[in-house]
Amino acid sequence: MLKITSARVIVTCPGRNFVTLKIETSDGVTGVGDATLNGRELAVASYLADHVVPTLIGRDAHRIEDIWQYLYRGAYWRRGPVTMSAIAAVDMALWDIKGKVAGLPVYQLLGGASRDNVMVYGHANGVTVDDTIDAALEYRDQGYKAIRLQSGVPGLASTYGVSKDKMFYEPADADLPTENLWSTERYLRVVPELFAAAREALGPDIHLLHDVHHRLTPIEAGRLGKDLEPYRPFWMEDAVPAENQENFRLIRQHTTTPLAVGEIFNSVWDAKQLIQEQLIDYIRATIVHAGGITHVRRIASFADMHNVRTGFHGATDLSPVTMAAALHFDLSVPNFGIQEYMRHTSETDAVFPHAYTFDRGALHPGEAPGLGVDIDEELAARYPYKRAYLPVNRLEDGSMYNW
Ligand code: EZ4
Ligand code: CO
């Protein structure tokens, strides 16, 4: 038995906030897990420190599945982003420990590599269509095979996905939520223009992606999907909020543009109908917000049975610990589609030294035992938590809308 002797929650802000769990065992082997929930970080930190950690001490770190079930069923209150991020952190740390004890990278424990490396997509954005195309050309020159395109919308001061900084995009940018304005009509005019220009500038071989970020109704999404069809997008993401999974039927009836959804899902139940009825093509549920490696394995196997592939979330609020875990998973899972990749700042990379590497549009998790990522606690302590919120969104008449 490999006893869990301690578990610490570390909150740090090397440019942005991260919540990390570090588990220690009787043999001195340690593991790390990510528990970051953007804009609600301290809720998960408390869930872990106050309610999960006391129940972990003395348990066998090797019993990953049993501990997962203990934390999920044993809480009585199932699911939800706070609970599932906390469970994910424990789960990632235990896989890290198991890999270190075995002397193997986690992808080997998951069945070994199904591919040579993990195709990622980068984020090209700009205030205008032309700026966005310039940014996309830079990504292509760096070797990216897939690029997400987001441009500003004429008449709107700011919108999701458009950054002041070309290298980094960080939406949680203020200690109280920033207010954005939204107009569906203006937006629906600009996106087809953006894709027409991008196809022309980038040629037929580059995969082009777009994130609607929950802004449309199903019929509007159907129309946008149809308008984009001539430019062969890789996917249209989060076209509508997905509380109502049936909404995707209507979108499907109107377009052959592939659909991706799920970065805010916490469990397989959030996607059950979407997957079972093949209403989507890519599931974006990711390790940290959907219960860890143990649970995304279930989601991915269920998706595989229905010809749905993975396309995990990989924005900057997913720490290098989640990125490492995702890459081990992506390398091994049979029905992999693509992995999102937004570069972390050098401050973040220094706090989380990692074995994964980028080469011409693809990432590889590396061969270090476990997840191949750690947290430099001394350095982390130099960056205290700083409250930061995601923006909120309003329509032009002042009504609250989805951000
Ligand atoms: O807005 O991760 O596809 N990526 C995204 C992200 C999300 C942030 C929210 O924390 O939609 O940019
Ligand atoms: Co998204």
Q: What is the second-level CATH architecture of the domain 4-105?
A: 2-Layer Sandwich (3.30)
**Which residues 6+ apart lie within 8 Å of 301 measured at CB?**
none
Q: Write phi, then psi, for 390 (nearest 5 degrees).
A: -70, 155
> Which amino acid is residue 66, in one-letter code?
D
Fold of 109-370: TIM Barrel (3.20.20)
At residue 164, the pLDDT reads: 77
Letter string b/e over residues 278-291, b meaning 16 or more CB atoms within 10 A of that residue's CB:
ebbbbbbbbbbbbb
Band of pLDDT at residue 14, cut at 50, 70 and 90: very high
Distance 74 CA to ligand 1 centre (A): 30
Told to judge if 213 belongs to the known catalytic residues of this protein, a careful annotator would answer: yes
Residues 231-271: pLDDT tens digits?
A: 999 999 999 999 999 999 999 999 999 999 999 999 999 99
Q: Is 356 a catalytic residue?
A: no
Q: Which two tokens stand for residue 322?
A: 């989640």
Averaged pLDDT of the chain: 97
Q: Domain boundaries in the chain? A: 4-105, 109-370
Catalytic residue among 107, 121, 160, 356: 160
Do the two domains 4-105 and 109-370 of this chain adopt the same fold? no
Average pLDDT value for residue range 18-24: 99
Per-residue pLDDT, averaged over 62-82, amounts to: 97
Which parts of 26-145 are beta strand (E)? 30-34, 118-126
Mean pLDDT across 36-55: 98
Distance CA 332, CA 116 (A): 10
Query: Of 123, 207, 210, 213, which residue is the catalytic one?
Result: 213
Name the residue with the closest Cα to ligand 1, atom 6.
Answer: 315
Q: pLDDT tens digits for 209-238?
A: 999 999 999 999 999 999 999 999 999 999
Alpha-carbon span 366 to 112, nearest angstrom = 13
The predicted pLDDT at position 169 comes to: 84
Around ion ligand 2, which residues have CB less than 5 A away? 211, 263
Residue from 392, 376, 317, 364 nearest 105 by CA: 364
Assign 381 a pLDDT band (cuts: 50, 70, 90): very high
Mutation to probe ligand 1, out of 211, 259, 261, 288 (largest number of atoms < 8 A from CB): 211
Single pTM value for the model: 0.97
Average pLDDT over residues 367-389: 98
Query: What pLDDT sits at residue 349?
Result: 98
